[in-house]
Structure 1
């Protein structure tokens, strides 16, 4: 594997690179170098830069026994690599076929912007395979967890600062993250926080993904009292953060996650008293946060219940409308990427993918998320959560359970937005995917 050579030959260096990429996706916006050039992300530079450096070092120093471009690696990695490579190749193949079909038969032009679709897919593939290459043990997981908590703590502090405009933060710091949403979102009434992302809806779904981890650890692990209190507080703060974004899609995702994980825990532990208390406590906490929210919050939520008067719902339908017309004309293979001739602003990722790559492309797009979900469910199926034994094996299973819930929330989010074309969010999720592939490849 190309992550087993050069700079990332050691497991510790892989971990450091993953930590740097993770923090970049969590707390750093894209950076403008010149107004005429696309904005650049630090995680892009890290992923492609280290990958290129590894290939160069591997070619310079290759020997049959030591530097065979990383093609010799452990079986755990091999299983994960085969799985993730197969999924990405299927999606890439469908993109190529659709673009060729559009170019030859539909006379759809193909330009540099369209070719960048392959670069985007390559970035996610490299992020996922980097996570696959990591030997995740107790020490690595502890550092990964702690750095994540530091990043999330920064997001929480900034979000509360935006909500209350502490130290006039919305005048000097928030614009660094929100380039176009200050007046109509952060400074609106009610204010919608966006944390370190450029849109409150993205902040909302990122918080939902985080929530899945906290809730999974709270429900399924037999924690000591101090850790249980910490996880309970973390769940409450995360739910409050989701509410502060006033993202209705994220709120629906939150409801899905809490219901799914609560029912899963209740049935897995056979409705034991301790689990009933945990579920009841989270229910009361969620209701308390909901009913103590500002009036503007409930007004915006109620506005979405009537599709005929909801400006947001109507806007989503208008932006997706043209895509459905194009889908009717070429449903199987789509029109190709076609960024120069068709709008990229389609508030439904399923419609956008189908318009570009047809039903076949949509299937492989969904498989990108469903394949690791299948792996996570398979691992969880044979695990005995009633056993008092804890350790990395249990932690990895719990990460898989969190991934299952997070995938469901992502599928809801994609109805009115989309994760695949958000480089910040999808790169973070690709790392999550990679860890699931690696966990699948390990023997119990």
Structure 2
């Protein structure tokens, strides 16, 4: 996607100091969703990424005074927000659900990221170091929390991130599963996967073994969350990139992949991560309750899709369960064909963006994480959750900046 310019055909003119400040604010906001716990506000748990969104929008307006310019990728979260509003109003009019302002508020999950993308033209390529350092700093904090949970001390940290009434707090304290900084083990597994992918992408670009070491640590954390979907999606994503894009001798790559697979299997049984292997066994036998519930949710979503195939039922929080542990089921039930088309083009855009940047570690990271996301969406939420879409936006911005946005216009 290119930039859309209103007014004079000039690039954004902001001082170097301003650009570093803006990039630091953006990185802090986006990474805060996976680093810091939510904040109780008016009976609702809110993440810093949401609270900083209006502030960043004010920064955008200030920048527009001198140079009214924006990048087209900012239209994507706005389109998702309009999709929510359109489906909600349609559902109210045709009586699929009663009027509930919470349905419209669901749009905030997506539109809150518009200011982050609107500020893209005012971030220089030199500020990419800020993006890198923010990930490294975040990985350090998440890693410390991960080791605390694995070693079984500092349980107060888990209470801060999960809350005393969380259904997952007992499994963390007992040592069964860890959640890192996620709201549940599955989110924690994806967060660990994100850092594993990032350090692996650095290795793919720089070929320094220390990045393999850091990636292995976060693969270990992903395994300790015992999130089956996250672990399988991570391994498939890394494996797909490694075989088809990583430069090296084809036979040696396959041997390395096979060895890594056996190592992960050994790790699972050595650490006695029975929640993983028993879950897979029960799934093959049709006795995995967690998976069966997701199949049931998908079945109900398809039935509701038939009732309203174009616009869906909307969030319909007054009528249906708000917890839908499959983003595909959520999309077809709530937003119908409109939602399917919008999300399809969003994922396609992210793949195209990653492939254009595949020679850099940013493109590699976005490609693998996007590949992983389409698998995770089968049983969990990525775009529609409260934490993980920040990572998608972060990598989106990094890849756009990496495409040298500040070259003169033709």
Query: TM-score interval w.r.t. the shorter chain?
Result: 0.7 to 0.9
1:107–1:10 Cα change, 3 Å:
same
1:135–1:110 Cα change, 3 Å:
farther
Give aligned pairs, total.
396
1:333–1:298 Cα change, 3 Å:
closer
Q: Give me the whole-angstrom Cα distance separating, in 1, the residues matched to 2:158 and 2:64.
A: 47
Give the SS at the match of 1:51.
helix
Alignment pair present for 1:181 and 2:167: yes
Q: Give me the whole-angstrom Cα distance separating, in 1, the residues matched to 2:223 and 2:343.
A: 29
Residue of structure 1 in register with 2:136 after alignment: 149
Q: Give me the whole-angstrom Cα distance separating, in 2, the residues matched to 1:424 and 1:328.
A: 31
Q: Which has the higher contact order (CA 8 A, sep 6+)?
A: 1
Alignment pair present for 1:434 and 2:401: no
Q: Deviations over 1:35-86 (max 9, x none)?
A: xx2122222222212323654xx4xxxxxxxx6535435xxxx5xx12x144
Tell me if structure 2 keeps the 8 A contact 1:111–1:340. Answer: yes
1:108–1:287 Cα change, 3 Å:
closer
1:50–1:340 Cα change, 3 Å:
same
Q: Give me the whole-angstrom Cα distance separating, in 2, the residues matched to 1:145 and 1:344.
A: 36
1:314–1:141 Cα change, 3 Å:
same
Q: Give me the whole-angstrom Cα distance separating, in 1, the residues matched to 2:53 and 2:269.
A: 44
Residue of structure 2 in register with 1:72 after alignment: 68
Give the alignment's TM-score, normalised by structure 2: 0.85
Give the SS at the match of 1:253.
helix
Q: Deviations over 1:314-371 (max 9, x none)?
A: 2223344432221121122212232222221111111112111111212102322221
Q: Give me the whole-angstrom Cα distance separating, in 1, the residues matched to 2:14 and 2:301.
A: 45
Following superposition of structure 1 onto structure 2, how do residues 30-429 of structure 1 map, counting pairs within 5 Å? 30-34=38-42, 37-52=43-58, 55=61, 58=62, 68-69=64-65, 71-73=67-69, 78=70, 81-82=71-72, 84-106=73-95, 108-131=97-120, 133-137=122-126, 140-166=127-153, 169-170=154-155, 172-179=156-163, 180-188=166-174, 191-218=176-203, 220-223=204-207, 228-266=208-246, 268-269=247-248, 271=250, 282=260, 285-294=263-272, 296-297=274-275, 299-380=277-358, 397-429=360-392
Tell me if structure 2 keeps the 8 A contact 1:7–1:50. Answer: no
Q: Give me the whole-angstrom Cα distance separating, in 1, the residues matched to 2:66 and 2:265.
A: 52
Mean Cα deviation higher: 319-328 or 297-306: 297-306
CA displacement at 1:201 relative to structure 2: 0.2
Q: Deviations over 1:99-133 (max 9, x none)?
A: 33323234533322112123222112223333564
Q: Give me the whole-angstrom Cα distance separating, in 1, the residues matched to 2:181 and 2:52.
A: 19
Tell me if structure 2 keeps the 8 A contact 1:372–1:436. Answer: no
Give the SS at the match of 1:32.
strand
Tell me if structure 1 keeps the 8 A contact 2:354–2:366. Answer: yes
Give the SS at the match of 1:335.
coil
1:9–1:318 Cα change, 3 Å:
farther
CA RMSD in angstroms, aligned pairs only: 3.1
1:351–1:143 Cα change, 3 Å:
same
1:302–1:48 Cα change, 3 Å:
same
Tell me if structure 2 keeps the 8 A contact 1:212–1:405. Answer: yes
Mean Cα deviation higher: 254-263 or 419-428: 419-428
Match among 12, 25, 34 for residue 26 of structure 1: 34
1:371–1:133 Cα change, 3 Å:
farther
Q: Give me the whole-angstrom Cα distance separating, in 2, the residues matched to 1:247 and 1:350.
A: 18
Structure 2, unmatched stretches of 5+, are 7-11
Give the alignment's TM-score, normalised by structure 1: 0.79
Tell me if structure 2 keeps the 8 A contact 1:211–1:238. Answer: yes
Q: Give me the whole-angstrom Cα distance separating, in 2, the residues matched to 1:129 and 1:68.
A: 10
Q: Deviations over 1:371-392 (max 9, x none)?
A: 1211221343xxxxxxxxxxxx
Structure 1, unmatched stretches of 5+, are 59-66, 381-393
Q: Give me the whole-angstrom Cα distance separating, in 2, the residues matched to 1:327 and 1:404.
A: 30
CA displacement at 1:243 relative to structure 2: 0.4
CA displacement at 1:161 relative to structure 2: 1.3
Q: Deviations over 1:191-229 (max 9, x none)?
A: 1000111101001112222222222222x3243xxxx22
Residue of structure 2 in register with 1:63 after alignment: none
